[in-house]
Amino acid sequence: MEKQQAIVLCNYFDRWNESGSSTYELNKLDTTNDTIINFHQWANRKPVVAAFDVNKLGHDRYFFLFIDWHRNDNYYLVIYAYNKSTTLAELNKVIEEDGEIVLSWKYNPLKRDRKNDVRKSYFKQTHGSTIMNIPFPTSVLEVESFVNHLFKLCQNRVRADRIVEILGPSS
């Protein structure tokens, strides 16, 4: 995504946070010289527009980083698990679909246990596709729906990643 698109999203997040949500608690993380430091080795000192701790009250909690992930002026919304052990999604592909701008993400597991086909099959069977397109908000009023979609994406990702544990050794 272009930096300007990331800026627009972060501005929506700021304004949404100011208006208050009964579902989410949002805290903006400190940045230094438009970078994040003391966060995670993969993110430290990379250019960021903003970073947020997003807590779905009574449920999950993630970190959302609007970051130049590869230092090439291509910004990503990177979602970290709250324990910072891994990223759950790296979204940067902005496309137009049926006249609507969406962030497009593809489930592509890269585990080294030779069971990624099972994971992909489960994800596709459960969600209809390995691709999730999330409508890009066009106003502050659409941010909560956007965040709901992102949380669902993360939950689906985690469930699909763990499906081989649930199905057992024969999977």
For the packed helices 143-167 and 3-19, what is the interaxial angle rounded to 10 degrees? Answer: 100
* E strand intervals along 21-107: 24-28, 48-56, 61-67, 76-81, 87-91, 93-97, 100-106
- Tell me the C-alpha to C-alpha distance, in Å, between residue 96 and each of 99, 113, 137, 141, 167: 6, 36, 13, 20, 37
Q: Helices in the chain by DSSP H: which ranges?
A: 3-19, 116-127, 143-167
pLDDT per residue over 89-118, tens digit each?
999 999 998 899 999 999 999 989 999 999
Model pTM score? 0.92
Give 57's Cβ-side CA count (13 Å radius): 8
Encoded tokens for 96: 């137009």
pLDDT per residue over 23-35, tens digit each?
999 999 999 999 9
**Where do we find the tokens 């995670």?**
40
> Percent of the chain scored above 90 by pLDDT?
87
Distance CA 78, CA 151 (A): 12
* The pLDDT of residue 38 is above 60: yes
pLDDT attached to residue 51: 98
* The pLDDT of residue 171 is above 90: no
Q: How confident is the model at residue 169 (pLDDT cuts 50, 70, 90)?
A: low
* The pLDDT of residue 166 is above 80: no
Q: What angle do CA 7, 145, 40 make, to 5 degrees?
A: 50
pLDDT per residue over 126-137, tens digit each?
889 999 999 999
pLDDT attached to residue 168: 65
Distance CA 171, CA 165 (A): 9
Q: What angle do CA 147, 150, 154 make, to 5 degrees?
A: 140
**Where do we find the tokens 């502050």?**
140
